[in-house]
């Protein structure tokens, strides 16, 4: 939330140059406030687990946020009770005429599947294109970022020979961008993907690369108008999510490397060491505040 100060106070210019958000009293007295309207398209198999992870991060802000959940199709879920989906999830037809302050599209276990082979690719394409006119800002997570980069910017993923699994340090760029306000020069993020996006692949777009790793490529990128944010990792992951994925691969007979920089002492017999929680909370708070709350009209019909 902004600091409210008197008009003309010298601190306004000084703090503004430091990328600290201040609001002059003359603006604050005219400001109208309402709850933010968010919709989450949850593509993950374990929907309840993903709901908890994302809502945990969204709740770390003083802003009031109303959340709805969206499903992609009518196929039965193998990992989530049908009664839960029927009770808490909407179909796209029900919301297609609504406008929203924010949209979050989650990842999906489709890392080795070509875009044309994704069963619900036409629906994903429709919803992503719909978001351009019905949503103030959209947060694309992991596989959703891969899909959106292809649909919106023609950037196709490059499949890496082995899976990036673990916690990888990211370098921060473009510190003037409010999305990375408060970020350290380097910060850790969980990764679980085969795709690799090099900085060179973004050369033909108008996207700003805000964080990246030399090995895993671009982690965080955003459009200059704040309406699209691409996150290729999983800042929302719980402490044991990578462990569960690793054990699943081992059980399924998949040759999997121990997740990098994850277990204490890089020993899978030790408990995971959580190092990314503060960054995840800060990313979501910055997105809600600067890319959603500060950009949205009071009346969503004016979008």
Q: Quote the pLDDT of residue 32.
A: 67
Spans of all domains in the chain: 1-31, 33-298
The answer to whether the annotation marks 46 as part of a ligand binding site is no
Look-up: residue for tokens 């979501």?
Answer: 284
pLDDT digits (tens, 9 = 90+) for 93-109: 999 999 999 999 999 99
pLDDT tops 70 at residue 6: no
pLDDT band at 253 (very low <50, low <70, confident <90, very high): confident
pLDDT band at 71 (very low <50, low <70, confident <90, very high): very high
The answer to whether the annotation marks 248 as part of a ligand binding site is yes
Question: Per DSSP, what are the bridge partners of residue 165?
Answer: 192
Output 236 or 17, whichever has higher pLDDT.
236
Q: Which of 99, 96, 117, 118 is nearest to 107 (CA)?
A: 118
pLDDT tops 90 at residue 76: no
Integer Cα distance of 251 and 261 in angstroms:
22
Q: Quote the pLDDT of residue 300.
A: 92
pLDDT digits (tens, 9 = 90+) for 166-211: 999 999 999 999 999 999 999 999 999 999 899 999 998 999 999 9
| pTM (predicted TM-score) | 0.89
pLDDT band at 27 (very low <50, low <70, confident <90, very high): low
Q: State the average pLDDT over residues 74-84.
A: 87
Residues with catalytic roles: 142, 234, 236
Q: What residues have CB less than 8 Å from 61, skipping those under 6 apart? A: 284, 285, 288, 289
pLDDT tops 60 at residue 1: no
Q: State the average pLDDT over residues 133-161.
A: 94
Structure tokens at 134: 């019905």
Question: Per DSSP, what are the bridge partners of residue 68?
Answer: 39
Structure tokens at 56: 């945990």
Integer Cα distance of 120 and 192 in angstroms:
21
Q: Are 291 and 229 in contact (CB under 8 A)?
A: yes
What CATH architecture does domain 33-298 belong to? Answer: 3-Layer(aba) Sandwich (3.40)
């Amino acid at each position: 939330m902004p600091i409210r100060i008197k008009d003309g106070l010298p601190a306004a210019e000084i703090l503004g140059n430091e990328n600290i958000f201040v609001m002059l009293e003359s603006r604050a007295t005219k400001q109208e406030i309402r709850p933010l309207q968010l919709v989450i398209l949850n593509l993950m198999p374990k929907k309840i687990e993903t709901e908890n992870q994302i809502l945990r991060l969204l709740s770390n802000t003083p802003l009031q946020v109303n959340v709805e959940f969206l499903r992609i199709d009518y196929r039965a879920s193998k990992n989530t009770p049908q009664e839960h989906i029927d009770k808490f999830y909407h179909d796209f037809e029900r919301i297609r005429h609504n406008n929203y302050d924010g949209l979050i599209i989650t990842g999906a276990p489709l890392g080795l599947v070509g875009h044309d082979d994704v069963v619900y690719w036409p629906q994903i394409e429709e919803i992503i294109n719909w978001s351009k006119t019905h949503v103030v800002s959209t947060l694309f997570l992991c596989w959703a970022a891969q899909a959106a980069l292809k649909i919106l910017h023609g950037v196709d993923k490059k499949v890496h020979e082995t899976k990036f699994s673990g916690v990888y340090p990211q370098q921060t760029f473009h510190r003037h961008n409010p999305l990375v306000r408060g970020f350290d020069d380097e910060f850790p993020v969980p990764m679980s993907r085969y795709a690799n996006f090099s900085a060179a692949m973004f050369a033909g777009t108008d996207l700003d690369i805000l964080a990246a790793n030399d090995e895993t490529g671009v982690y965080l990128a955003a459009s200059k108008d704040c309406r699209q944010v691409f996150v290729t990792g999983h800042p929302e992951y719980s402490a044991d999510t990578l462990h569960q994925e690793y054990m699943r691969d081992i059980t399924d007979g998949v040759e999997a490397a121990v997740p990098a920089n994850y277990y204490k002492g890089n020993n899978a017999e030790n408990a995971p060491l959580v190092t990314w929680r503060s960054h995840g909370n800060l990313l979501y708070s910055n997105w809600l505040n600067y890319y959603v709350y500060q950009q949205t009209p009071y009346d969503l019909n004016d979008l």
